[in-house]
Structure 1
Amino acid sequence: MKLATLKDGSRDGQLLIVSRDLKTAVIATNIAPTLQDVLDSWDFMAPQCEDLYVQLNQGRAPNSFDFDPTQCMSPLPRAYQFADASAYVDFVDLIARSRKDEIPDFFWSEPLIHQAASDDFLGPCDDILVASEAFGIDVESEIAVIIDDVKMGATPQQAAESIRLVMLANDVSLRELMQTEMIKKFGFLNSKPSTSFSPVAVTPDELADAWEKGKLHLPLRTSIKGKLVGAPNAGVDMTFSFPQLIAHLVKTRNAKAGTIIGSGTVFNKEGSKGNSSIFATRAAEIIAHGDATTPYLQFGDVVKIEMLDKNGKSIFGAIEQKIEQAE
């Protein structure tokens, strides 16, 4: 099943069911007003959404229309919680080595997760507004999941059952501002503007055998100014699976339906598939040559993030955004 949120001028938009080929959609507010409402009563409402999804794919859904990602908000325009991880520890190690540093051994056994802003997500085609290019504007292509209620102390096996939806994310980073915030050692704030997510969120069954043991085993494609800069496989070199990340999140507290967990920058350590962030490319340049030459994003640049299935078809639709100067 593929779900989205239509812009309608409100904070939370209207629930959409989107066809498997991403060509048509139908407003599903007769089932639930918003995606959060579906998540709050998943066992009751998801089967109704699934029935409508089947009708839509068979061309039988009443009042269907052409699907337009530019008219979408984030699947969840705002969420009760967004926790973003660094599940690809080889990426963290690369950054440390570029600074002639080492990561602690426990980074390989205990996930890194920080509390991120969740009150104002961007739509998949909304402009990314930044005050200055000097902030070091960077893309971070990620996988994210939306979960149901999870009780404190849940095991990874139990946590796996809570994953309701999967989507893509662009967790924009302002690298030059991040340097100061890292020194403060109190988490990211100004260096993390609003995150954007793919036009649709999909249930894990839509991913077939590409979804295995809480990891998505397909290349995540990142393009800048129309040039493909990276397509690392999201299931390769992911140190911690999503069930492990969720279990870590609920170690000391409950998590509620609608919580989003991000994977962190998708990264393959051999580097042959390119990178999902400019930061990784610059770190590799520093290690190899002593200096970084790849620039961060500039105003007017367009970033595109997409994942294709084994038949070359888009699964989630594309995040496609222009970098613009904030007034």
Structure 2
Amino acid sequence: MRIARHGAPGQERPVAAGPDGTWRDLSTVVDDVTPATLARVLALGTDELTALPAAPEPARVGAPVSRPGKVVCIGVNYRAHAAETSHDEPEEPVVFLKTAQTVVGPDDTVLIPRGSTKTDWEVELAVVIGREARYLDSPEAARACVAGYAISNDVSERELQLERGGTWDKGKNCETFNPLGPWLLSADEVTDPQALGLRLWVNGELRQDGSTAQMIFGVDHLVWYLSQVMVLEPGDVVNTGTPAGVALGRPDTPYLRAGDVVELEIDGLGRQRQTMGAA
């Protein structure tokens, strides 16, 4: 099942598509796709879904989950990315947080912070949690806690992140810094989350071309690991890291400026397209 939210900001309608590919209006089932309603949406059977009216063509696509409780991010989780940014491969996952307010739709404008000269891109596989994960016994137990997968752009301001002291959070939490979507693909439709290609273009030039097979810590390990240090709840988003090809790792590559266009895709999860704007 594909789950999405279509409509203007603050007025999104919940929709879902089953095997026939037709987007169906879920408004008679749930008011919105939120942490509280996600389980109900995932429980829809094919017959129940196809009996719902078709949804109109959207003028805008929002993030597939409204108001996630938290966005947990994993840094330096691809070997080539670690090498290009002069990091040693971590012995344990590197964890930082983004606020839910950074989450916007997949094609919404991303705002370059005022004074920024080092705003960067990061295509990532996002894992959306479907049930509470607390002190899981093993990585094998993690898969049952995953609702599904989506594309995330973990936009980063590198000066704030790395040159201004403190934690990475400063460079990761500027407004609009987490486009998500265009849809959430339910976990049962992803045979192997460690076999997905990820790609990103800036102004039509391919910058990132990797595979989730290149992760240092896979999805199951990450969800298990996080459950040992925090409680993951339904609707929480886990950004699992980015492959090589970011501006930080390429001294001859310019960072993002207003007017630049960034496009992202992950196998089976659709495509994003953002135009950079000025804050």
- TM tier, shorter chain? 0.7 to 0.9
Equivalent of residue 229 in structure 1, options 189, 198, 207: 207
Normalising by structure 1, report the TM-score: 0.76
Q: Say which one has the larger Rg.
A: 1
Number of residue pairs the alignment of both structures matches = 274
* In 2: Cα distance, 1:249 partner to 1:226 partner: 36
Aligned partners of 2:205 and 2:146: how far apart in 1? 33
- Corresponding position of 1:81: 70
CA contact (8 A) 1:77 1:122 kept: no
Give the CA deviation at 1:201: 0.6
Higher helix fraction: Structure 1 or Structure 2?
Answer: 1
The match for 2:13 is 14
1:106-255 matches, cutoff 5 A: 107-108=90-91, 110-132=92-114, 134-147=116-129, 148-181=131-164, 183-184=165-166, 186-193=167-174, 194-208=177-191, 211=192, 215-235=193-213, 237-255=214-232
Post-superposition CA distance 1:108-151 (Å, at most 9, x none): 3x111112222341111100112346431111100011112112
CA separation in 2, counterparts of 1:73 and 1:129? 16
Q: Which protein has the bigger strand share?
A: 2
SS at match of 1:250: helix
Matched residues in 2 for 1:21 and 1:260: separation?
27
Asked whether the equivalents of residues 31 and 48 of structure 1 are also in contact (C-alpha less than 8 Å), the reply is no
Q: 1:196 to 1:296 in 2, by over 3 A?
A: same
- 4+ runs of 1 displaced by more than 4 Å? 19-22
Q: TM-score, normalised by structure 2?
A: 0.88
Paired with 2:17 and 2:74, the residues of 1 have a C-alpha distance of 28
Distance (Å, rounded) in 2 between the aligned partners of 1:121 and 1:28: 22
Deviation per CA, 1:37-70: give whole Å up to 9, x if none. 332xx2x5423254444x2xxxxx55314544x5
1:25 maps to 2:38: no
Letter aligned with residue 298 of structure 1: R
Could you say if the C-alpha distance between residues 296 and 133 of structure 1 is closer, same or farther in structure 2, counting changes exceeding 3 Å?
farther
Which segment is superposed worse, 134-143 or 148-157? 148-157
Quick check: 1:143–1:168 contact (8 Å CA) kept in 2? yes
Q: Look up the match of 2:277.
A: 324
| Amino acid in structure 2 at the alignment position of 1:18 | A
Q: Report the AA paired with residue 269 of structure 2.
A: F
Uncovered stretches (5+) of structure 2, i.e. residues with no partner: none
* SS in structure 2 at match of 1:299: coil
Alpha-carbon separation, structure 1, partners of 2:41 and 2:116? 47
Give the partner amino acid of 1:262.
Answer: N
Secondary structure, aligned partner of 1:152: coil
Identity rate of aligned residues, in percent? Answer: 22
Please report how far the alpha carbon of residue 249 of structure 1 lies from its aligned counterpart in structure 2 after TM superposition. 1.1
Q: Look up the match of 1:46.
A: 42
Question: Counterpart of 2:4 in 1: which secondary structure?
Answer: strand
Match of 1:305 in 2: 264
Could you tell me whether the CA contact under 8 Å between 2:25 and 2:52 is conserved in 1? no
**2:247 equivalent to 1:278:** yes
SS of match in other structure, 1:32: coil
Q: Distance in 2 between matches of 1:153 and 1:216?
A: 20
Q: SS where residue 132 of structure 2 aligns?
A: coil
CA, structure 1 residues 20+324, in 2 after alignment: closer, same or farther (shift >3 Å)? farther
| Whole-angstrom CA distance in 2 between matches of 1:25 and 1:83 | 29
